[in-house]
Amino acid sequence: MRVLITGAQGQVGQELMLSAPPSWQISAFGSQQLDISDAQQVLDNIRQVQPQLIINAAAYTAVDKAESDSDRAYAVNQQGAHNLATAAQSIDCPLLHISTDYVFDGKHKPPYTEHATPAPNSVYGDSKWQGEQAITAICRQHIILRTSWVFGLHGNNFVKTMLRLGQERDALSIVSDQIGGPTSARSIAQALWQIAQQYQSNASCPWGIYHFSGAPTCSWYDFAEEIFAQAAELQLITNIPRLKAITSSDYPTPAQRPAYSVLDNTKINQQLNIAQSDWKNELNSVLRALKDAQ
């Protein structure tokens, strides 16, 4: 099975490389090797590799920076998705694509199903939603995997930020009124490989949009509390800072975040037999790996 991976140097991209099926032929490109916003680059690389499956882990994910750098955010998240979908369709190749809970405005409960109408309230969220629409319109064989609050061993993420700030400060103020599901990059990569293997086995797949995120639901404050509790137990840190719960209005950011972006994982479990990940267990694995790397 020949698989082309974009965004190979990102959080999920690196986990995809680490967990790829050993007998498969993987062609992986970071943004330096393949800029997905360049249609000709995309077409040239796909024609050269002739993949049987494409996994797009490339994205512009700097949520706040996107508000002032919208041209680049749309170039990667919208035009990049369009370019990959066009190239994939031209060789009749399936495209697996990662999207986000930020396509929703976070003003509704209960958890968002795949049928909920996107209403992004940030440039990042809108650029990802535009990318989704391009893929669904162009590429017949596609899986769009919406996920949330991604963390892992590689790249920059909330877990690493908390550990760094915890060593630098005695007290931290953490937003407690944004609710979601932390999701490890490793579990996302595993879910994508499960989908890929189902496709290889069946020469098809129930194509469409799926939600995949970690459980249980929590706030950023809850997440931070668990990070420090586990890190202290593993003796990864020597100091647990005092945590103060604050509201989103107490911590204004350039981009508006969804207040409630819990994703319903029923569809992916029923149609693809992929279980929701337990983020606390995944967090423990990340922290143990960081400890071993010290």
Q: What is the pLDDT of residues 72-92, one digit of tens each?
A: 999 999 999 999 999 999 999
Using 50, 70 and 90 to split pLDDT, how confident is the model at 283? Answer: very high
In this prediction the pTM is 0.97
Question: Residue 204 pLDDT > 90, yes or no?
Answer: no
How many domains does the chain contain in total? Answer: 1
Which pLDDT tens digit goes with each residue over 145-154?
A: 999 999 999 9
Q: How far is CA 224 from CA 111, 137, 234, 274, 282, in A?
A: 22, 39, 15, 27, 14
Look at residue 66 and tell me if it is in a domain.
yes
* 44 vs 125: CA distance, rounded Å: 29
Residue 233: which residues within 8 A CB-CB, separation 6 or more? none
Tokens found for residue 9: 């140097």
Q: Is 60 a catalytic residue?
A: no
Question: Residue 203 pLDDT > 90, yes or no?
Answer: no
227: nearest Cα among 277, 294, 156, 163: 163
Enclosing domain of residue 33: 2-151+183-214+262-277
* 31 vs 8: CA distance, rounded Å: 8
Predicted local confidence at residue 294, as pLDDT: 83
Predicted local confidence at residue 192, as pLDDT: 98
Look at residue 220 and tell me if it is in a domain.
no
* 146 vs 212: CA distance, rounded Å: 6
Using 50, 70 and 90 to split pLDDT, how confident is the model at 269? Answer: very high
Task: Work out whether strand 171-175 and strand 142-147 pair parallel, antiparallel, or are unpaired.
Answer: unpaired
* 201 vs 52: CA distance, rounded Å: 13
Look at residue 285 and tell me if it is in a domain.
no
Look at residue 130 and tell me if it is in a domain.
yes
Q: What is the dihedral of CA 136, 139, 141, 143, to 10 degrees?
A: -40
Residue with tokens 């129930």: 206
Look at residue 11 and tell me if it is in a domain.
yes
Q: How many residues does the chain have?
A: 294
Using 50, 70 and 90 to split pLDDT, how confident is the model at 239? Answer: confident
Residue 245: which residues within 8 A CB-CB, separation 6 or more? 173, 174, 175, 176, 221
Look at residue 99 and tell me if it is in a domain.
yes
* 293 vs 291: CA distance, rounded Å: 5
Look at residue 255 and tell me if it is in a domain.
no
Using 50, 70 and 90 to split pLDDT, how confident is the model at 122? Answer: very high
From the list 124, 199, 210, 260, the catalytic residue is 124
| Averaged pLDDT, 109-128 | 97
Name the burial class of residue 144, with classes exposed (0-12), middle (13-18) and buried (19+) by CB atoms within 10 angstroms of its CB.
buried
97: nearest Cα among 89, 105, 106: 89
Q: What is the mean pLDDT of the chain?
A: 97
* 105 vs 178: CA distance, rounded Å: 11
Question: Residue 169 pLDDT > 90, yes or no?
Answer: yes
Look at residue 128 and tell me if it is in a domain.
yes
Predicted local confidence at residue 147, as pLDDT: 98
> Looking at residue 124, which CATH number applies to its domain?
3.40.50.720
Q: Rg for the chain (alpha carbons), in Å?
A: 19
Question: Residue 114 pLDDT > 90, yes or no?
Answer: yes
